[in-house]
Chain A
């Protein structure tokens, strides 16, 4: 049995969690914005149809994000809404677990296998790239580690996990989170435009969004903006990336512990178990049930629709928590490193998807 020492993640400073009643205003705001997005999509499509106008179909996803962006950047969101808005990741995870019902095991084995292979390549190359950029721009090593983890695996949750494990400064993690969120927002609007310009099919685009966009909410939204099918594939690829979080954070923890700059303990298995995202297991379990015909066709449709309702709240939250003013205060150099890294990672992941398409005919 191995006894090598590793780092124990330090708990984030614990604020007492908000009570149920405190969540209600923000959750209602998410629901109102999300539903408004859905109504606008419907109204625009109906208007275009009645008046025989050819108008591009703009999905509710984009409307919900845009309304959220306008509210958070033009107006000021009152504090009473904040605890509820922060639940958007909770709805995202419920949506992902329920989305598992739309994958049969054979899909997961085929596409998940391809995704997993690409994810390993993407993570390795992205980590190397971000560390190289961090050195070139003279960023603090721990900030570079956080940016590398955030851009190679899964955005904010990876940064939070890594922050505890490598004992990074609050300031560094705030920087890294802000950069990753700003770049995620940019990817949201640029990826679909590039995808359409290059005539990517749904599977290729979904894989690209899942591999190239950092934060899970933005990756899901980017895929959904392209098409429903692309959204589904983006979630699968992103879920594979999320599954790797524990291994990468563990590697960083060991690295910084060896340098005497983080706390060390002995239980690697417990570390990996604690860091493994549970919703990935939920996603697999639901798809396993769907594969063994536990649900009828109508029930599968209901589950898919429940998943869409959960995503509707998530997309409203993506817009609401993206505040460009706050991001601009975070500093220039880390943002440049993040932005350069993201562009290069987007090109790299596009190359990986292009290669996979040539080999496996996605």
Chain B
């Protein structure tokens, strides 16, 4: 039976994209370092 759980890899990509979109549309401003 196929395993429907998302892999760690897939979660990392989803979260990275969510962050990128948040930066692009202004939800996250100027991240300091």
Interface residues of A (CB under 8 A from B): 11, 89-90, 93-94, 97-98, 101, 277-279, 281-282, 285-286, 289, 294-295, 298-299, 301-303, 305-306, 308-309
Task: Contact check, B13 vs A299: say whether CB atoms are below 8 A apart.
Answer: no
Using CB atoms and an 8 Å cutoff, list the residues of chain B in contact with chain A. 3, 7-13, 15-17, 19-20, 23-24, 28-33
Please list 9 pairs of residues, one from A and one from B, whose beta carbons are closer than 8 Å in the complex, sorted by A's number.
Answer: A93-B13, A94-B16, A97-B13, A101-B20, A279-B9, A282-B17, A298-B30, A302-B28, A306-B19
Chain A nearest CB from B7 CB (Å) reads 7
B-side contacts of A299, CB under 8 Å: 23-24
A274 nearest in chain B by CB position? B7
What's the dominant secondary structure at chain B's contact region? helix
Contact A93 B12 (CB under 8 A): yes
Q: How far, in angstroms, from A195 to B29 measured CA to CA in the complex?
A: 37
Main secondary structure of the interface of A (DSSP, over half): helix
> In the complex, are the beta carbons of B16 and A89 less than 8 A apart?
no
Considering the chains assembled together, what is the distance between the CA atoms of A281 and B23 in angstroms?
A: 20
Chain A residues with Cβ below 8 Å from B20 are 98, 101, 286, 289, 295, 303
Asked whether A302 lies within 8 Å of B31 as measured between CB atoms, the reply is yes
| Cα(A97)–Cα(B8), bound, Å | 13
Return the contact of B16 from the options A282, A294, A302 (Cβ within 8 A).
Answer: A282
Chain A residue numbers with a CB within 8 Å of B33 are: 305, 308-309
Known: A98-B19, A303-B20. A282 touches B12 (CB 8 A): yes
Nearest A residue to B5 by beta-carbon distance? A17
The verdict on A279 contacting B13 (CB below 8 Å), with A90-B8, A302-B30, A305-B31 known, is yes
